[in-house]
């Protein structure tokens, strides 16, 4: 099996590369990354090759089509900073690239598994369900929705090519530290509390998220590869938890008693409540989350 992982030096991509390497030791794996938010240290222990390139360049995909043949493409590469307001840049990198990638998988007759996002739902009512309430609040969420639309049209026109979009909710876990300010709230709060600082939260910390541990996300990717299915699926736990609860769990595990420092939210596009309906992923992918927020944070702290 020959595998290409775009964004493979990033948080999710690097975890995926290592898990594939472990689960399929005979597979040949290539990582493609421009290292804008990925880091070489995420790939220490990875035994495959790295292609250093900008995935939004059409010439790259023409070169790849001529030079390589892949059986599976995991497309994780994207601008993931939700505060980027440059609409042209966001859509060019995240959405337009999808056209080049789909053209390549069609030529290779490869399976495509790609990263979408809960950002497509904006502040729609929870639980959020595929095909409903898709009203993003920022350019990032809109770019991911456009990716999904491009993918769905392709699936309709090319039913013989399997394409799976995974709408990740709030992913946290080992390998995210190089994301800086866009790392998960679990990581940000851990870092503050480990240094003895009061954890900073937007007032009043009751915003709720469907936090999903990286190991569940990686397993969802492998299931998507192994199942003979196409479609778009929510990947989450199906349970919404508050930021205050993260602070409480971290206080317990770190042996601290730090009270949150609440401040005003500066964003007018902020998602206040995300919770996934994961029925479709359960039924068609066989996906079942293994980690509650408590279990995920406990496991994560072993690495941190």
Question: Tokens 């709408």, residue?
Answer: 167
Residue 245 has pLDDT above 90, yes or no: yes
Sign (positive or negative) of CA dihedral 134, 138, 139, 141 = negative
Pick the catalytic residue from 89, 179, 191, 280.
Answer: 179
| Known catalytic membership, residue 179 | yes
Q: What is the pLDDT of residues 86-121, one digit of tens each?
A: 999 999 999 999 999 999 999 999 999 999 999 999
Residue 270 has pLDDT above 80, yes or no: no
| Known catalytic membership, residue 140 | yes
pLDDT at 181: 85
Residue 271 has pLDDT above 90, yes or no: no
Q: What is the pTM of this model?
A: 0.96
Q: What is the pLDDT of residues 272-291, one digit of tens each?
A: 899 999 999 999 999 999 99
Strand order in the sheet with 111-117: 49-52, 28-33, 2-6, 72-75, 111-117, 163-168, 231-235
Residue 161 has pLDDT above 80, yes or no: yes
The Cα 62–Cα 104 span in angstroms is: 8
pLDDT-based confidence at 81, cuts 50/70/90? confident
CB under 8 Å to 17, separation ≥6 — which residues?
5, 8, 29, 31, 43, 46, 48
Residue 269 has pLDDT above 80, yes or no: no
Question: Tokens 């898709």, residue?
Answer: 134
**175-209+239-274+293-303 in CATH: which number?**
3.90.25.10
Beta strands 72-75 and 241-242: pairing type? Answer: unpaired
Q: What is the pLDDT of residues 122-145, one digit of tens each?
A: 999 999 999 999 999 999 999 999
Beta strands 208-209 and 241-242: pairing type? Answer: antiparallel
Pick the catalytic residue from 18, 111, 114, 140.
Answer: 140
pLDDT at 196: 95
| CATH fold match for the domains 2-171+214-238+276-285 and 175-209+239-274+293-303 | no
Q: Which CATH architecture has domain 2-171+214-238+276-285?
A: 3-Layer(aba) Sandwich (3.40)
The Cα 3–Cα 32 span in angstroms is: 11
Contact in structure between 134 and 167 (CB atoms under 8 Å): no
pLDDT-based confidence at 179, cuts 50/70/90? confident
Q: How far is CA 190 from CA 41, 183, 269, 270, 300, in A?
A: 21, 11, 25, 22, 10
- In the chain, what are the domain boundaries? 2-171+214-238+276-285, 175-209+239-274+293-303
pLDDT at 134: 97
Q: What is the pLDDT of residues 16-48, one digit of tens each?
A: 999 999 999 999 999 999 999 899 999 999 999
The Cα 109–Cα 127 span in angstroms is: 35
CB under 8 Å to 25, separation ≥6 — which residues?
none
User: Structure tokens of 211?
Assistant: 């936090």
């Amino acid at each position: 099996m020959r595998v290409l992982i775009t964004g493979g030096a990033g948080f999710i991509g690097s975890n995926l590369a290592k898990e594939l390497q472990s689960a399929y030791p005979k597979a040949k794996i290539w990582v493609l990354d421009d290292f804008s938010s990925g880091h070489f240290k995420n790939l220490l222990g990875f035994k495959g090759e790295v292609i250093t390139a900008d995935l939004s360049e059409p010439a790259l995909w023409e070169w790849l089509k001529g030079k390589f043949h892949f059986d599976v493409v995991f497309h994780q590469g994207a601008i993931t900073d939700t505060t980027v307001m440059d609409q042209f840049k966001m859509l060019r990198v995240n959405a337009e690239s999808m056209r080049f990638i789909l053209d390549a998988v069609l030529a290779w007759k490869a399976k495509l598994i790609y990263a979408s996002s809960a950002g497509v739902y904006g502040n729609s009512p929870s639980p959020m369900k595929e095909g409903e309430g898709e009203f993003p609040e920022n350019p990032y969420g809109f770019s991911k929705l456009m990716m999904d639309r491009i993918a769905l049209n392709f699936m309709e026109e090319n039913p013989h090519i399997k394409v799976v979009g995974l709408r990740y909710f709030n992913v946290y876990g080992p390998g995210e530290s190089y994301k800086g300010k866009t790392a998960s709230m679990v990581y940000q709060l851990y870092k503050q509390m480990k240094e003895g600082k009061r954890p900073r939260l937007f007032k009043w910390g009751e915003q709720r998220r469907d936090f999903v541990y990286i190991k569940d996300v990686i397993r969802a990717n492998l299931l998507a590869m192994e199942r003979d299915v196409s479609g778009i699926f929510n990947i989450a736990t199906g349970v919404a938890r508050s930021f205050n609860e993260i602070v409480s769990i971290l206080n317990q595990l770190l042996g601290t008693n730090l009270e949150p420092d609440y401040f005003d939210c500066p964003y007018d596009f902020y998602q206040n409540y995300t919770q996934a309906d994961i029925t479709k992923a359960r039924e068609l992918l066989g996906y079942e989350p293994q980690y509650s927020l408590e279990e995920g944070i406990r496991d994560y702290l072993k690495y941190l």
